[in-house]
């Protein structure tokens, strides 16, 4: 499984990129709003992320009709070679994805919650599909169970006939809120987990690692003083 960072915060992206495990970034309108960014700066902000990260960077279209989404997507894709256009799972989004896939513009189909939505996204030619986990948990449903159904269903079929740039569709576990989500996403075979900065940091940590490190340091001090 690959790790993407789910943020638009440049500081977080720079830090995580320096750790050597970051394979991409996903942003959305909420994450960009959280940075305090203005509409006029949005394209430059995405360009900046694309310079920092050597991997796919999802930038979301907020258009609602297929023609507007396609126009928006072409502009976003022109910003950098590693831009992936994020498009919500809806009829207009599917239609736009079909057009964009034929042009070789990679799409990350977002706000995906069900197996039929995921299969339709793949059939339309999405390069990435983002089933959400945490938002199911928010409404007292089992987000991991929903993710496992999407992973199993997509893996039942060969979507190679509608790949973008010869690459197969990949599932991004999104709306990830904990290391437990990451563990389970990896065990069920999700290709990617997109993880907020704080959660990614927690994924590196374990109390036994801290305790072991502490013991090694203390014992090494004894060696130095012997
Ligand atoms: O980027 C989409 C998704 O990961 C958002 O997560 O935590 O807002 O449900 P969340």
Task: Please confirm, yes or no, whether 86 is among the known catalytic residues.
Answer: yes
Average pLDDT per consecutive 10 residues, the chain (226 residues; last block may be shorter): 98 98 98 98 98 97 98 98 98 97 96 97 95 97 97 88 70 98 98 98 97 98 95
Q: What is 35-86 written as a DSSP string?
A: TT--GGGHHHHHHHHHHH-SS-EEEE----SHHHHHHHHHHHHTT-TTEEEE
What's the first-to-final CA gap in the chain, in angstroms? 45
Copy the structure tokens of residue 60: 């979301």
Q: Is the CB of 137 under 6 A from ligand 1?
A: no
Q: Is the CB of 6 under 6 A from ligand 1?
A: yes
CA of 132 to the centre of ligand 1 (A): 7
Tell whether the torsion through CA atoms of 48, 51, 55 and 56 is positive or negative.
Answer: positive
Residue tagged active-site, from 86, 201, 218, 222: 86
Judged by DSSP in three states, 193 sits in strand
Residue 134 alpha carbon, nearest atom of ligand 1: 9
- pTM (2 d.p.): 0.94
Q: Closest by alpha carbon to 39, among 72, 5, 13, 74?
A: 72
d(CA 17, CA 40) in angstroms, rounded, equals 26
d(CA 77, CA 24) in angstroms, rounded, equals 15
d(CA 14, CA 136) in angstroms, rounded, equals 30
d(CA 214, CA 90) in angstroms, rounded, equals 52
Nearest CA to ligand 1 atom 9: 175
pLDDT in tens, 191-217: 999 999 999 999 999 999 999 999 999
pLDDT in tens, 15-41: 999 999 999 999 999 999 999 999 999
Copy the structure tokens of residue 204: 């590196």
CA of 226 to the centre of ligand 1 (A): 53
CA of 88 to the centre of ligand 1 (A): 12
Residues 133 and 113: beta-carbon distance below 8 Å: no
Copy the structure tokens of residue 55: 């991997």
- Strands 128-131 and 170-173 come out as parallel
């Amino acid at each position: 499984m690959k790790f993407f960072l789910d943020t638009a915060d440049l500081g977080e992206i720079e830090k995580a990129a320096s750790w050597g495990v970051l394979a991409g970034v996903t942003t959305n309108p909420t994450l960009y709003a959280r940075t305090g960014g203005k509409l006029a700066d949005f394209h430059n902000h995405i360009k900046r992320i694309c310079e920092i990260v050597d991997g796919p960077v999802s930038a979301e279209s907020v258009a609602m009709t297929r023609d507007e989404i396609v126009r928006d997507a072409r502009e976003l894709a022109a910003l950098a070679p590693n831009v992936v256009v994020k498009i919500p799972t809806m009829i207009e989004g599917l239609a736009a994805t079909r057009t964009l896939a034929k042009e070789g513009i990679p799409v990350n189909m977002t706000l995906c919650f069900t197996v039929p939505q995921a299969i339709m996204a793949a059939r339309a030619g999405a390069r990435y599909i983002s089933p959400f986990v945490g938002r199911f948990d928010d409404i007292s449903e089992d987000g991991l169970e929903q993710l496992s159904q999407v992973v199993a269903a997509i893996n039942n079929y060969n979507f190679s006939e509608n790949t973008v740039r010869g690459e197969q569709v990949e599932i991004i576990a999104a709306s990830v809120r904990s290391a437990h989500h990451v563990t389970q996403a990896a065990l069920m075979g999700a290709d990617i987990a997109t993880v907020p900065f704080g959660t990614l940091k927690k994924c590196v940590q374990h109390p036994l690692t801290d305790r072991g490190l502490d013991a090694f340091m203390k014992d090494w001090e004894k060696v130095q003083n012997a």
